[in-house]
Structure 1
Amino acid sequence: MLSLKTASQWPLRVRFACATLAGVLMAALLYLAWLDGLVAAVQVAQGEEARLRAGLLLAQARVGQLPQWRLQQRQAGAELARLEQQLPDQQAMAALLSDINAAGQARGVQFSLFKPGAARPQGHYVALPIAIQLRGGYHAMGALLADLARLPRIVTVHELVLTAGKDRLLTLDAVLHAYRLPDAQERAAQAALAPKPAAPAPVPAALAWQPLVDVDVPPYEAAGFADPFGALPVAQAGQQQGGAAAPDLRRPREALESVAVPAMRMVGSVRQDGRLSALLLAGERVYRVAAGQYLGPDHGRVTQVSEQALEYREVLREPGGGWRERRGSLALQKSGAAARASARQDAPAEEAP
């Protein structure tokens, strides 16, 4: 019987057969290890094939959407160009500030403060804050803000504070933000400070771009609404309440109705086409006012104009809900700045709307 202890004494044929058997077993083990790795590699390749096949199907679907993407790209480019037209360059910013000031004057609102601040770069645009302080009537300020919303340029209003004064006029403190395109130097500075762009995100399968919807800002309609700071309810025009007829609260307000009567001065008169008009100094502007026009926040209406005085009639709200009439006059003044303002009326004066 063969024993491993005497393996060196085994016959040569036996020793050769055992060595052959051991080699075959070693080769079998190595083959099994190689085969296991090959199976794992085949599984990885099959998974990669499935992923690539799904990517191919997705790419084929996107190729079918390419004409639609190109059309939307042209539409987005045209819309971007239209939006950039609402952002003036640095040279056109002065014209925008002039338009804002003119909008306030057209509504009879006085600018007590108009102070542009330092420009603030905001990426693709530059914001210019403008601190303003307005004095006037509530509805006149509402109409002015509606006019700003309808400007061809983008102007937003921030930090609004309304304060009612003893003269029944309101003071509005706010910050306007006007926007413009950056110039070459500002773009270069922003590009130097911008972080390095990250890797591009994968293109989504669905189209996400939608065109912007134009918003039509309606005109400011104060008809039928009372001044909340005056707490005056709406009454029908001509309706008799108490001692006087109620005024027409639905009519359009005129420029001088946002100015308190004590703040006006009569500085002269002018006759045109046989009609005599008074020249009233309100703030830094001179208005030409004829009989029948309105002035002051209390529904004042000019009843008579002479070369020496202007007479008016006001209608005031009583605490009990009725209306009472009050009459007054503005006498001609010729002293100081008023006399100089009257002398300047050799040129045609601006008539209050």
Structure 2
Amino acid sequence: MTLDELRQLDPKDIGNWPLPVQLGSLVIIISLVLGLGYWQVWSGQLDDLEVGRTDEAKLKETFLDKKGKAVNLDAYKQQLYEIEQSFGAMLKQLPKKSEIDALLTEVNQVGLGRGLQFILFKPGPEIKTTEMAELPVEVRVGGSYHDFAAFASDIAQLSRIVTLNDIEVKVPEDEKERKEYGFVLSAIAKTYRYLEPEEALAVKKAAAEKNKDKKK
């Protein structure tokens, strides 16, 4: 059918159009309806479907994670119990306030027992947290490398927790100290103590007041 013949077709008399033209028009109408339906309705529903699939995948992942934790709940409880026991044992290694002086004397005796000569043994101010207090002690001792190593080993074996930090070993610049000691070890010995209940409460109150002031 030519273009002129198509132009001569009467839109009001579709029933008398040639069959191929009728079929072609029907296909065009159906395509328009489907396209309009997809644009107006189905596209939004497809987006919702994709969102639903994503949410479903996340929910499955969350479910499997919680299921795994539920299956291993007894193991987690046992692990928590062991951690609490270990933490309790560590707390027992922290001296009380009344025991600090004895501990410092013990550290001093350990050094003297290894033949070290104390040049400086100066406790600093305590640094308190909500659970414990840290007491740094500036230490400077003279001796040999072997004595220093033995001293550090003895410190590690004390019944209470004492650590050596910022260790430095060198030949003294002062000629007199060099002749007298040979080598000098400088370090910060740190020991820790468990806070008394009233001290812990005071520290927590101070921290709360500090946070309150920051928010103002």
Above 0.5 in TM-score? yes
Compared with structure 1, are the counterparts of its residues 166 and 40 closer, same or farther at alpha carbon in structure 2 (3 Å cutoff)?
Answer: closer
Percentage of matched positions with identical amino acids: 29
Query: Distance in 2 between the 1:123 and 1:177 partners?
Result: 18
Residue aligned with 1:108, SS: coil
Q: How does 1:139-288 map to 2 (within 5 A)?
A: 139-157=146-164, 158-162=166-170, 163=172, 165-167=178-180, 169-182=182-195, 183-184=199-200, 185-190=202-207, 192-193=209-210
The change in CA–CA distance for 1:35 and 1:82 in structure 2 (over 3 A counts) is same
Q: Indicate the residue corresponding to 1:54 in structure 2.
A: 61
The alpha carbon displacement at 1:89 in A equals: 3.2
From 127, 133, 138, the counterpart of 1:131:
138
Q: In the TM superposition, what whole-angstrom CA distance separates every residue of 1:263-321 from its partner, at most 9, and x where no partner exists?
A: xxxxxxxxxxxxxxxxxxxxxxxxxxxxxxxxxxxxxxxxxxxxxxxxxxxxxxxxxxx
Equivalents in 1 of 2:186, 2:49: separation in Å? 74
* Alpha-carbon distance, 1:193 to partner: 4.7
Taking the aligned partners of 1:141 and 1:30, their CA distance within structure 2 comes to: 87
In 2, the alpha carbon distance for the partners of 1:138 and 1:54 equals 58
* Deviation at residue 138 of structure 1 after TM alignment: 4.5
CA distance in 1, matches of 2:143, 2:50: 80
Read off the aligned partner of 1:54 and give its amino acid letter. Answer: E
What is the aligned counterpart of 1:73 among 69, 80, 96?
80
> Aligned-residue CA RMSD in angstroms?
3.5
Q: How does 1:326-341 map to 2 (within 5 A)?
A: none
2:125 maps to 1:108: no
Residue 179 of structure 2: SS of its match in structure 1? coil
Which one scores higher on RCO, CA 8 angstroms, separation ≥ 6?
Answer: 2
Structure 1 pair 46–170 and aligned structure 2 pair: CA distance change class (3 A): closer
| Compared CA separation, residues 66 and 192, structure 1 to 2 (3 A) | farther
1:113 to 1:53, Cα distance in 2 relative to 1, 3 A: closer
Measure, in 1, the Cα distance between the counterparts of 2:151 and 2:142: 12
Tell whether the 8 Å contact from 2:161 to 2:191 is kept in structure 1 after alignment.
yes
The whole-number CA distance in structure 2 between the counterparts of 1:191 and 1:133 is 38
The structure that is helix-richer by fraction is 2
Distance in 2 separating the partners of 1:50 and 1:85: 48
Please name the residue that 1:206 is paired with: none
Structure 1 residues 29-65: Cα deviation after superposition (integer angstroms, max 9, x where no partner):
5796134323322332233223223322332222111
Matches within 5 A, 1:309-328: none
TM-score by length of 2: 0.63
Aligned to 2:40: 33
Instruction: Report if aligned partners of 1:160, 1:175 keep a CA contact under 8 Å in 2.
Output: no
Change in CA separation of 1:168 and 1:115 when aligned onto 2, cut-off 3 Å? closer
Give the CA deviation at 1:148: 0.9
1:175 alignment partner AA:
I
Residues 1:40 and 1:140: Cα distance change in structure 2 (over 3 Å): closer
Alpha-carbon distance between aligned partners in 1 of 2:189 and 2:142, rounded to the nearest angstrom = 16
- 1:64-108 Cα deviation digits (max 9, x unpaired): 111111111111111111222222233322221121122223333
- Take 1:194 and 1:147, find their aligned partners in 2: how far apart are those partners? 42
Aligned to 2:99: 92
Q: What is the distance in 1 between the residues matched to 2:49 and 2:182? A: 85
- When residues 48 and 194 of structure 1 are mapped into structure 2, their CA distance, relative to the original with a 3 A threshold, is same
Q: What secondary structure sits across from 1:131 in the alignment?
A: strand
CA distance in 2, matches of 1:42, 1:142: 70
Q: Distance in 2 between matches of 1:45 and 1:64?
A: 28
